[in-house]
Structure 1
Amino acid sequence: MITPHYTNTYSDTRGLSSEPLTFTQAIVKGIAPGGGLLVPLVIPKLSLDQIAALAELPYAQQAATIYQSFGVDLAAEKIEELMAQAYSENFDTAEIIPLSTVAPDTHVLELWHGPTSAFKDMALQCLPLFFSAAIDKLREQDEAEEDFLILVATSGDTGKAALDGFKNREHTNIIVFYPHGGVSDVQLRQMTTQRGDNVGVFGVEGNFDSCQTAVKGAFNDESFNELLASEHGLRLSSANSINWGRLMPQIVYYISAYAKLVTSGDLLLGQPLDVCVPTGNFGNILAAWYAKDMGVPIGRLLCASNKNRVLTDFINTGTYDIRDREFVLTPSPSMDILISSNLERQLFELNGRDSDAIRGWMDDLRNQGCFRVDAQTFAALRSVFCSDSVDNDESLQTIREVYEQHEYLLDPHTAVAWKVAERLREENPVLVVSTAHWAKFGADVYRALNGIAAGAPLPAEVADLSGFELNDLIARDYKAGCIPTPLAELQSLPVRFSEVCSGSTEGVEAAVKSWLEQ
């Protein structure tokens, strides 16, 4: 298959760190000094025959093969062992990533069959295993003595997936911060009932952007990092998609999906496939770009935004502007984001890896709330990406339309992608990326199926039902399949976490200190 013959190294998008890192060093560090993101020096290339041959392997072996092609500095046998643990009975199907052809030339990639019913499981059942292996390797080399504290900012799904992946892991603690009032009831319950001796959860006043900015501030606060090291023997790391170890597993499923569509006869080998991704933080669609860059015949990348359409405006104009932009709560809360972290990596790849330009743009965004890319970078962006946005009511209408026409039930995030794919598609078949099970957003799915406007009160006959009872009703009345067991069991679990901190770096740091002192 694919024989690696090198150890890849990772560098900083902002050029502030000159020391190249191996994969294991990069995922433990999480983020570069000065706030830049780590990217691999070499992006491996796959032939069409190599891509097609992957379909003959179980998903875990596909993932191991791709990791080896990236020159990961672990033994091949170790990579295969970790992938076999990551993608096994913890998913509710042996396929791991089933594909459903819902309409002609429209294929839905279901990424929500893991233990938390969201696509984040694809990375966060994998990253913790590699993180632990990386710690072991660094300890053997006397490069790490401290334990690690992972801080996570979540818009909904990452938090639970990270908690589930890292719970009770040796030498690792994890604290998740979510925007108070900005996640669905099921998402909240998933996080606040999390079991494990090394986990913490805090709400944060404000929206996801303030939450994410506050957590990033803690990473960049030297005195806070020194305090953690000296008083608690801890080093910070991240499980957000700013960590390359979060992004790399996502590349795998785009390669795998293409290979599966060729094997099923839905695509001819080499035939272009457009990919439509609902995204706010840009990580999921960036993974598709890396798959394309590796040689997968992906045509256009369709970036689907909800009413927080900062990415759509950027892709259409080349200007990223959050000045005076209203932050809107939507039925797709995991996309309610205005500051898109992974866009930095994409621009680094599109502008010839010019770290000076990246640093200038990120400084402009931080200081002025706006930046504009140069003409050459904008042309490179437009050659691959196109984008549109969907408002709240339209996303719910799409859920109803797809259910009535195809008897397939979408969650609100996937509905955004479906509608954008309808608008922007041309002659190529389209892969619509489905990021969550509908039962994580039962109230809005009920509104959709019953023609109720987004944000409107539920009717009296269901208003007093719990979210779990409402999900059972939808599953029964609309023949929508079984509720995933981990979601159904949430109602019987005790709530462990209820504290809320201020939406500032100081607030996040105070929350961390209070948790460590418990």
Structure 2
Amino acid sequence: MNTFYHSTRSNEQLVTSKQAILTGIAPDGGLYVCDDITSHQLDLNTICNQTFMETSRLVLSTLLDDYTSEEIAACVEEAYGSSFDTPAITPVTPLGNDWLLELYHGPTCAFKDVALQMLPRLMSKAHAQSDQNIMIVTATSGDTGKAALAGFAGVPGTGICVFYPEGKVSDVQRLQMVTQTGSNVEVCAVSGNFDDVQTEVKHIFADKNLAGRLHTSNIALSSANSINIGRLVPQVVYYFDAYAQLVRSGTLKKGESVEFCVPTGNFGDVLAGYYAKLMGLPVARLVVASNSNDVLCDFIESGVYDRRRPFYTTISPSMDILVSSNLERLLYLLSDGDCELIASLMKQLSEEGHYTVPRALHERIRETFSYGHATDEETSKAIHTTWEQNHVLIDTHTAVAKHVLAQQQPSDAAARVCLSTASPFKFPADVLAALGEDITGLDGFTCMDRLSELTGAQAPRQLSELRDAEVIRNASCDVSGMSEIVENACMRCLA
């Protein structure tokens, strides 16, 4: 083993990947990173002749090298062996002259499944060497919550507490969470938006008094958000696998470059693509696609990150975010590991709501990252035209990326790939309305049925069956009450 992790804000304390995954977030509030990603170059010849499962074992063994090969193999088999509805796991399919990377074939019909079927397995292997019980505390803007609940429910020695912004997730997303069974599970709606919830979760992690009280009961907190390196690393896999699929189909020749357009709010999904680029994938450009909460677009354009702006509730709710946590990792990597700079920028963001990166750093970001945003009207139009022209049904987040990709100037890429992050049936009302149907007075399941009738597409069973599921998680609080919810959940589930 030669890969160690440390905080983006200090390199004084080195930890193994197992320790980083169990801890989730560094004690100083930074995110765990390693400094030798570029030394881990993966061979394209090997990648292009492998299955998703084989590439998953290779990527995880490379970046999480204190796990044994046997541990990694077991994690991959448990995560992907039977829980996805296609053996391809993340198939690449045609989208006009471009390509769609379908990331929604897992148990909760969202891209988060790729990582959140893996993370509990990685934690379990790491937990076997620890005598502490772990409480996962997670903020969700929609999809992370159910994917994390599905992954961690019933896992020995582990509990999970999920917070979501009340009224700001889709009906289907909410039902997926509040019907979750399991004795080690807590779900709570919070008054506020996702940024309010995510910020308070970070405060909970930093609360030394709470940590001390939990320690007496042999409990530690960790995260299932993409701030956890164990969430980020599995997402690197599907970038390599998508490239391999395109090579095998004859779309690409090995060595030709590819462009990815990624709908993103917290920056984790697109950052995984940058990790793949650092590890040798020929990525010409990564396109950040935002909705009306376009703080990332403004940052890439100007080098100024400013969260002091209106917050919009959109039809792509998983992207309704103004504080993109994973951007911190990119800034660390592109500043050549300047911990002092990163700590200063994050302090300024916390205290003043904005920061400006040095010009040289901004220029490096612009070398790889492009951007664009879509309004709700443009998102709906993209759904409509994609169905009319290509007979491909996409959700409201994928549609943001589809619109943005269509606006991009040509690059050197030999192929362009749009990441499709959720099933359209998770957002049936908005997708149905985009197709020109009147949804007045219709509930989510009526919209789901009508969407299926109109398009001939079948709603995933795990979504359609929610109509008969019992709501068993009715907790709610304001932001100030979240810490108490966490502590009570720890005592109920783990003490």
- Alignment match of 1:265 (pick from 244, 247, 250): 250
SS of match in other structure, 2:479: coil
| Whole-angstrom distance in 2 between the partners of 1:226 and 1:294 | 39
Deviation for aligned residue 1:517: 5.2
After superposition, the C-alpha distances for 1:285-307 in whole angstroms (9 at most, x for unaligned) are 00000101111001011000000
Match of 1:283 in 2: 268
| Whole-angstrom distance in 1 between the partners of 2:408 and 2:373 | 11
CA contact (8 A) 1:59 1:87 kept: no
Deviation for aligned residue 1:229: 1.6
Please say if 1:431 is aligned against 2:438: no
Match of 1:338 in 2: 322
Please say if 1:400 is aligned against 2:384: yes
* Structure 1 range deviating more: 214-223 or 80-89: 80-89
Match of 1:455 in 2: none
| Residues 124-163 of structure 1 aligned to structure 2 (within 5 Å) | 124-136=116-128, 138-139=129-130, 145-163=131-149
Match of 2:63 in 1: 70
Match of 1:27 in 2: 21
CA contact (8 A) 1:60 1:86 kept: no
Match of 1:468 in 2: 445
CA 1:35–1:168 in 2, change beyond 3 Å: closer, same or farther?
A: same
| Whole-angstrom distance in 1 between the partners of 2:59 and 2:257 | 21
| Whole-angstrom distance in 2 between the partners of 1:515 and 1:149 | 8
Please say if 1:248 is aligned against 2:233: yes
CA contact (8 A) 1:53 1:259 kept: no
After superposition, the C-alpha distances for 1:63-120 in whole angstroms (9 at most, x for unaligned) are 001112225212112211210111122000011011111111x110000000000000
TM normalised by structure 1 equals 0.92
Deviation for aligned residue 1:489: 1.5
| Whole-angstrom distance in 1 between the partners of 2:490 and 2:300 | 42
- Alignment match of 1:192 (pick from 170, 178, 198): 178
| Whole-angstrom distance in 1 between the partners of 2:375 and 2:163 | 27
| Whole-angstrom distance in 2 between the partners of 1:46 and 1:55 | 17
- Alignment match of 1:97 (pick from 90, 94, 104): 90
Deviation for aligned residue 1:269: 1.0
| Whole-angstrom distance in 2 between the partners of 1:46 and 1:514 | 43
| Whole-angstrom distance in 2 between the partners of 1:128 and 1:372 | 37
Q: Quick one: which amino acid aligns to residue 332 of structure 1?
A: S
CA 1:208–1:47 in 2, change beyond 3 Å: closer, same or farther?
A: closer
| Whole-angstrom distance in 2 between the partners of 1:193 and 1:227 | 30
Deviation for aligned residue 1:41: 2.8
CA 1:431–1:361 in 2, change beyond 3 Å: closer, same or farther?
A: same
Please say if 1:40 is aligned against 2:34: yes
| Whole-angstrom distance in 1 between the partners of 2:109 and 2:349 | 34
Unaligned runs of 5+ in 2: none
CA contact (8 A) 2:260 2:417 kept: yes
CA 1:219–1:296 in 2, change beyond 3 Å: closer, same or farther?
A: same
SS of match in other structure, 2:15: coil
| Residues 370-381 of structure 1 aligned to structure 2 (within 5 Å) | 370-381=354-365
Please say if 1:210 is aligned against 2:196: yes
Match of 1:18 in 2: 12
| Whole-angstrom distance in 2 between the partners of 1:43 and 1:216 | 26
Q: Quick one: which amino acid aligns to residue 33 of structure 1?
A: P
| Whole-angstrom distance in 2 between the partners of 1:45 and 1:475 | 48
| Residues 167-186 of structure 1 aligned to structure 2 (within 5 Å) | 167-186=153-172
Deviation for aligned residue 1:196: 1.1
Match of 1:7 in 2: 2
After superposition, the C-alpha distances for 1:4-40 in whole angstroms (9 at most, x for unaligned) are xx3311011001x622111111100111011000012
CA contact (8 A) 2:8 2:332 kept: yes
| Whole-angstrom distance in 2 between the partners of 1:295 and 1:516 | 42
| Whole-angstrom distance in 2 between the partners of 1:130 and 1:513 | 24
SS of match in other structure, 2:418: strand
| Whole-angstrom distance in 1 between the partners of 2:417 and 2:239 | 9
State how many pairs are aligned: 490
Deviation for aligned residue 1:514: 3.5
| Whole-angstrom distance in 1 between the partners of 2:60 and 2:491 | 39
SS of match in other structure, 2:210: helix
* Structure 1 range deviating more: 417-426 or 299-308: 417-426
| Whole-angstrom distance in 2 between the partners of 1:517 and 1:135 | 19
TM normalised by structure 2 equals 0.97
- Alignment match of 1:297 (pick from 282, 291, 300): 282
Deviation for aligned residue 1:270: 1.1
| Whole-angstrom distance in 2 between the partners of 1:300 and 1:103 | 20
After superposition, the C-alpha distances for 1:389-419 in whole angstroms (9 at most, x for unaligned) are 1111110111001100000011000000011
| Residues 461-500 of structure 1 aligned to structure 2 (within 5 Å) | 463-464=441-442, 466-479=443-456, 481-500=457-476
Deviation for aligned residue 1:440: 0.4
| Residues 491-510 of structure 1 aligned to structure 2 (within 5 Å) | 491-504=467-480, 507-510=481-484
CA contact (8 A) 2:116 2:148 kept: yes
- Alignment match of 1:81 (pick from 69, 74, 77): 74
Deviation for aligned residue 1:282: 0.2
CA 1:8–1:516 in 2, change beyond 3 Å: closer, same or farther?
A: closer
- Alignment match of 2:150 (pick from 164, 176, 181): 164
SS of match in other structure, 1:18: strand
Please say if 1:368 is aligned against 2:352: yes
CA 1:516–1:39 in 2, change beyond 3 Å: closer, same or farther?
A: closer
- Alignment match of 2:339 (pick from 355, 362, 371): 355
CA 1:492–1:451 in 2, change beyond 3 Å: closer, same or farther?
A: closer
> Identity of counterpart residues, as a percentage?
42
Match of 1:387 in 2: 371
Deviation for aligned residue 1:51: 2.1
CA contact (8 A) 2:168 2:317 kept: yes
| Whole-angstrom distance in 2 between the partners of 1:513 and 1:223 | 11
